[in-house]
């Protein structure tokens, strides 16, 4: 029935009066965006896999967090070999996730609550089962023969160059139908589109416009570092040292880290493609938003290159903290370097997502090991909400969930299965969200099984438990996000990061024409004094329990605080 009524349903939806979300000038700059990874958010039909209806049923919960926007992981039809990031139809909904009517109901529900809706869109590759690729691989002279990146074998039969997939092995797959290799930066089932061909780029833009015409507020664009590659297919040079911290995931011995990805990532040929994508969303009123994911590259440098002066994206996700060593000196150096690059561009602070280790286990493992998980989770949320930029919060971070260890026999992630035991994959961040501590499967599903197990250590951190605890991570986030909404210096202001002389204290100023907020974070298990002159006054903010002393601000272990100095007139 869904297939029969889909076009009628869309036509009817287009005629309905819609409640427009509030129009705010550049709302995205200071926004807090909540990522719902649909498969693990909530299951409404008992099949053990989260779905759109599960998100609809929890929209009040999401709105109650105080966030500005909801980002949905992919829900498009897919063989699910990479759990939705291998798409066969960019204009529809996978039956496993629900229906088009569910998606439209969700869109209306988001807007009715005054929020924005961003879709995860994958412009750089498709599934090998997509009709475009099926035609492209059928011969060398069909209408879509050059819609993907094909190349002849080298003289010895090997791939045309040394490019590697970040998921392990060569980035080239031999196809006997064409007697050629095709390029895939990730899994072999995800062939890369040839977006440097105008016809292909126009086709992808048309897929984006389909969703924009329905009223979505923008996109998180996946893996845009792979929008183009070197036209000459030159081999990458070796890296001066293996294991670059910029390269996200894959374990310490992934061969992908042994190359400088000069010719297969973030190449100059991507710039005109990005400009065209930006032009597409700029045609709409109010203008829709493009936020770029740039993994495996220096995201701070890319933020300025791609977001300054409206060049391409409105903002990019900054992965530098995910990849940063968990010590204050290195974090300080990274933030100072970021400020040096970021003059007119904009970024989103990301401490974890569906591809990486959960934040408390990655950035504050010393505190978790000492039994201070809740305090560490609050500290990281404070840091994320007070640094310059927007915030992208992955589901479960509002609960302070630690990263679980999953045995190999339950893993689903093809990346983890390929690189085990060096790399356990991404499943630890993707376990089902715990809703009710004493319910079966923590209230995620009423079914017998879940696609990934609910970790035992997450049960006591379930939503129902934290909602009843005024000191919980969840209630801290709700209070702090609402407090932050009233602080324009934090949402839109400038930033100066101080040096690491007082490590393990981390401090930075956020400022606008009304004054300066000095934010201080104690990355240690000991009480620390932050020196401050008398004209710096403490600010009352959620869970800022630091004490003002004559010599400065005393912070408890894993504590944080804010001082303020007003602008003096005259």
Positions marked active-site: 222, 293
Radius of gyration of the chain (CA): 24
Nearest to 408, CA basis, from 398, 423, 393, 395? 423
Q: Where are the beta strands (DSSP E) in 180-263?
A: 180-183, 218-221
The secondary structure of 108-151, three-state, reads HHHHHCCCEEEEEECCCECCCCCHHHHHHCCCCCCCCCCCECEE
Phi and psi angles of residue 500, each rounded to the nearest 5 degrees, phi first: -100, 25
CB 186 within 8 A of CB 165: yes
CB 82 within 8 A of CB 417: no
C-alpha–C-alpha distance, residues 557 and 561, integer Å: 12
To which H or E segment does residue 562 belong?
A: strand 560-566
Residue 440 preceded by cis peptide, ω within 30: no
Specify the long-range contacts of residues 498-503, CB closer than 8 Å, at least 24 apart: 498/332, 499/332, 499/336, 500/328, 500/329, 500/332, 500/333, 502/528, 502/530, 502/531, 503/327, 503/328, 503/329, 503/332
Cα 225 to the chain's mean position, in Å?
Answer: 14
Q: What residues pair up with 170 in beta bridges, in sequence order?
A: 164
To which H or E segment does residue 5 belong?
A: helix 2-15
């Amino acid at each position: 029935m869904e297939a029969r009524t889909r076009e009628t349903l869309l036509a009817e939806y287009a005629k309905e009066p819609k409640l427009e979300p509030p129009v705010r000038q550049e709302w995205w700059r200071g926004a807090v965006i909540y990522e719902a990874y649909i498969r693990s958010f909530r299951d409404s039909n008992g099949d053990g896999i989260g779905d759109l209806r599960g998100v609809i049923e929890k929209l009040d919960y999401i709105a109650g967090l105080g966030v500005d926007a909801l980002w949905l992981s992919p829900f498009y039809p897919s063989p699910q070999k990479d759990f939705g990031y291998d798409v066969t139809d960019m204009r529809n909904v996978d039956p496993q996730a629900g229906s088009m009517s569910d998606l439209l109901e969700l869109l209306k529900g988001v807007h009715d609550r005054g929020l924005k809706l961003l879709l995860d869109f994958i412009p750089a590759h498709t599934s090998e089962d997509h009709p475009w690729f099926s035609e492209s691989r059928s011969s060398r002279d069909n209408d879509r023969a050059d819609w993907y990146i094909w190349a002849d074998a080298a003289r010895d039969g090997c791939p045309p160059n040394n490019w590697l997939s970040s998921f392990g092995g060569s980035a080239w797959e031999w196809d006997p139908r064409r007697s050629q290799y095709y390029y895939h930066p990730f899994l072999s089932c995800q062939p890369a589109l040839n977006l440097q061909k105008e016809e292909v780029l126009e086709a992808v833009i048309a897929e984006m416009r389909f969703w924009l015409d329905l009223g979505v507020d923008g996109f998180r664009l996946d893996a845009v570092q792979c929008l183009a590659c070197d036209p000459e297919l030159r081999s990458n040079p070796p890296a001066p040292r293996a294991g670059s911290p910029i390269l996200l995931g894959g374990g310490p011995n992934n061969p992908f880290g042994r190359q400088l990805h000069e010719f297969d990532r973030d190449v100059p040929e991507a710039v005109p493609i990005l400009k065209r994508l930006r032009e597409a969303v700029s045609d709409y009123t109010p203008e829709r938003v493009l936020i770029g994911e740039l993994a495996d590259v220096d995201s701070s440098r890319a933020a300025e290159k791609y977001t300054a002066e409206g060049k391409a994206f409105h903002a990019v996700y900054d992965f530098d903290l995910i990849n940063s060593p968990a010590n204050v000196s290195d974090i300080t150096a990274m933030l100072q370097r970021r400020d040096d690059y970021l003059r007119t561009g904009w970024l989103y602070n990301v401490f974890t997502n569906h591809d990486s280790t959960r934040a408390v286990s990655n950035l504050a493992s010393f505190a978790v090991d000492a039994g201070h998980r809740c305090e560490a989770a609050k500290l990281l949320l404070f840091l994320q909400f007070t640094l310059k930029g927007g915030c992208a919060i992955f589901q479960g971070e509002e609960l302070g969930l630690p990263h679980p260890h999953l045995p190999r026999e339950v893993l689903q992630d093809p990346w983890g299965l390929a690189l085990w035991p060096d790399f356990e994959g991404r499943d630890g961040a993707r376990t089902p969200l715990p809703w009710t501590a004493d319910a079966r499967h923590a209230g995620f599903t009423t079914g017998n099984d879940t696609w990934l197990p609910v970790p035992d250590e997450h049960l006591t951190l379930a939503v129902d438990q934290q909602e009843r605890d005024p000191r919980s991570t969840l209630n801290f986030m709700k209070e702090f996000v609402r407090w932050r909404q009233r602080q324009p210096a934090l949402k839109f202001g400038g930033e100066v990061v101080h040096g690491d002389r007082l490590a393990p204290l981390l401090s930075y100023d956020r400022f606008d024409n009304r004054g300066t907020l000095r934010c201080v974070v104690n990355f240690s298990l000991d009480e620390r004094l932050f020196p401050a002159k008398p004209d710096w006054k403490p600010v009352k903010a959620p869970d800022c329990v630091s004490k003002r002393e004559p010599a400065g601000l005393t912070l408890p272990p894993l504590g944080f605080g804010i001082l303020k100095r007003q602008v003096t007139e005259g």
